[in-house]
Chain A
Amino acid sequence: MATRGALRRTYTWIAAHGPWSAWAWRNTAFAVAAIPAALPAGLGLLSVPLWLVLVLALGPLLGRLQRSRFWSLLGLEVPEVVRAHPWSTPKGVAERLRSDATWRQYAYHLLVSPLMGLGGALQVLVWAGGFAGASVYGWAWALPPDRSGPGLAGAYDLVTVAGALLLLAAPWPAALLTRLDSAAAATLLGPNRARELERRVEDLAESRAGVLDAADLERRRIERDLHDGAQQRLVSLAMNLGIARATLPDLPPEAKAVIDEAHREAKEAIEELNSLVRGLHPAVLEDRGLDAALSGLAARAPLPVELTVDMGTRPGPTVEAVAYFVVSEALANVAKHARAKACSVRVDRMPDRRRGDLLRLVVTDDGVGGADPAGGTGLVGLRKRVGSVDGTIMINSPLGGPTVVTVELPCGL
């Protein structure tokens, strides 16, 4: 089975890289383009030390040349090794000397590049020979017969066929060279795979933090817009209706009822808008921090909440927003499902060697317990929001209670 698969792959490869394919031309050009980059190696034929010095000195330039060869002819990106300092500074030189990537690159320039240059030269020879052979009748016709050599005269047909076959076969070695060169470049010229992944993770973490911050900023912008616009208008409307109610005592009962109704509606709209804004991003959180925002939350909860906050310096705004959301959701869940008489919220900051400081939130209630961490949109939403900042959540809720929700958020964000 395995051999059959390998065979099929080989056939496919042969079929895909024949002279009829677009790849054939690209590969040929690529293989030939290895020659100029290998020129320093040509010097090696004259003087090995000169060659070594030249390659060492031209290392960065050669790297750029090879990268642009891969990119412009194959569309293949060989990622550059990211350095902290430019090479012209002492720190940069030290960094490069210590880095294994530097030595891998020199291995490419000293070993692979000359071989590929040789391959490219052979390609040129194959093409030249092929052309010369295929057009042997032309040569015979164009040149005087005495100079074409009598020995070949009888073999012209054979030479023509051989030349044509050589031309037809040339793309396959070019494809093979391309493949070997690409593989060598990926391992030797590019950054180390593990380091590449590490960098990718860093990039992703950074861009995720950026997305979170942007979402947070957007929430705050909406909150501010609502505060400056709709909220002020509604308060003003409710106040004017209140003034109407207070100053027009002699209205017909129907009109008075309508005004009363409108007044009540306006006040309810204010309440609704306020709770919407609090859900987005409460102003108190931005102005006064987590402690103040949580105490407002606890005071509005429908059951007595004991709140202890021991935080020291404020964590970042994104972490604060997540912490606020966590406590808000947890208290809403307690009020909805736990049938608890009392609840306590504890927030403290503790050092963690692995992740920097952690903000720990513990919400405990004396309710019926049995909260299912997987079930219920509330807990799922909580988990997602905590996960978005690399936090952890632990829910301990045996039947009969008590329920303890512990959330830990890294403060670094």
Chain B
Amino acid sequence: MRAVIAEDSVLLRIGLVRVLEMAGFEVAAETGDAESLLAAVETHRPELALVDVRMPPGFTDEGVRAALRIREASPATAVLLLSQYVEERYAADLLATQSPAGIGYLLKQRVADVEEFIDALRRVAGGGTALDPQVVAQLLLRRGGGPDPLSRLTPREREVLALMAEGRSNGGIAAALVVSESAVAKHINSIFAKLDLSAADGDHRRVLAVLRFLDGTP
């Protein structure tokens, strides 16, 4: 699988290339700003673009805007965004785009946990989702309180929902909560029932369903 990187810090870029290669990607291009990232995606049509949110020239949300354009122009390219801080609207914007490709939004510091980061890279490249727990926490926060179907969930079901929203599989959720996979499946069915959602297949669609509910985006 081929990947391109957009990260303006050279130091970090070297490390990210190393991790991508460990994960089995061939790094087709390394760039330091949004313009050359878009050009590189156009040229190489990679399976994955690993993109820093804060890049030149404005050092604000260049990466997010580039990611949105990639999802429109190159629907086969999955995008994993790395950010210094979480802005849930970025996540909502990204998830609202209609694209079959995978999407991820992680805090930059998560790259330190190399194994988990590699998992996230593979999951996103394979069409799945990786959302930072902080993103999920903020999305849940915005829906907290009021006459909300979420309030019908038990604390355990909320935990499961949060892990689902991060993009974890049933196995991953079971490992995180130290319960059996069948228990997780039972919780998920109960969540879907309470939220009036029909259980759908695949990590990505599952997360979309969760987020559609969380954020009200289609």
Contacts and interface: CB of A to CB of B under 8 A. Distances in A.
A267 B108 CA distance: 11
A305 interface: yes
B61 interface: yes
B137 interface: yes
Interface residues of B, number: 35
Interface size class, chain A: 35 or more
A266 B112 contact: yes
**Interface residues of chain B: helix, strand, loop or mixed (majority):** helix
Interface in B110-132: 111-115, 117-118
Contacts of B87: 284, 287-288, 292, 296
**Interface residues of chain A: helix, strand, loop or mixed (majority):** helix
B9 A228 contact: yes
B61 A287 contact: yes
B178 interface: no
B22 A243 contact: yes
A247 B22 contact: yes
Interface string B126-168: 0000000010011001101100000000000000000000000
Given A235-B109, A246-B115, A304-B144, A299 B54 contact: no
A239 B114 contact: yes
Interface in A301-333: 304-307
Contacts of A232: 9, 11-12
B181 interface: no
Nearest to B140: A299
A240 B15 contact: yes
Contacts of B89: 288, 292
B19 interface: yes
User: In this complex, which of B89, B115, B141 has the most chain A Cβ atoms within 10 angstroms of its Cβ?
Assistant: B141
User: In this complex, which of B11, B85, B112, B145 has the most chain A Cβ atoms within 10 angstroms of its Cβ?
Assistant: B112
B186 interface: no
A222 to B, nearest CB: 15
Contacts of A233: 11
B60 interface: yes
B97 interface: no
B111 A235 contact: yes
Contact of A239 (B86, B112, B144): B112
Contacts of B15: 236, 239-240, 243
A301 to B, nearest CB: 9
A246 B109 CA distance: 17
A287 B15 CA distance: 27
A243 B16 CA distance: 10
Contact of A295 (B112, B113, B142): B142
A364 B93 CA distance: 31
Contacts of B18: 243
B32 to A, nearest CB: 13
A270 interface: yes
Nearest to A246: B114
A306 B111 contact: no
B180 interface: no
Contact of B138 (A227, A270, A295): A295
A185 interface: no
Contact of B134 (A245, A270, A299): A299
Interface in A63-104: none
A296 B85 contact: yes
Given A299-B137, A307-B142, A242 B112 contact: yes
B108 A242 contact: no
Interface of A: 224, 227-228, 231-233, 235-236, 238-243, 245-247, 263, 266-267, 270-271, 274, 282-284, 287-288, 292, 295-296, 298-300, 304-307, 344
Given A228-B9, A299-B137, A304-B144, 12 more contacts: A227-B84, A236-B9, A239-B15, A239-B19, A240-B15, A242-B115, A243-B18, A271-B109, A284-B85, A287-B60, A296-B87, A300-B137
Closest 10 CB pairs of A and B: A238-B112, A242-B114, A299-B137, A299-B138, A284-B85, A232-B9, A239-B15, A287-B60, A306-B145, A236-B11
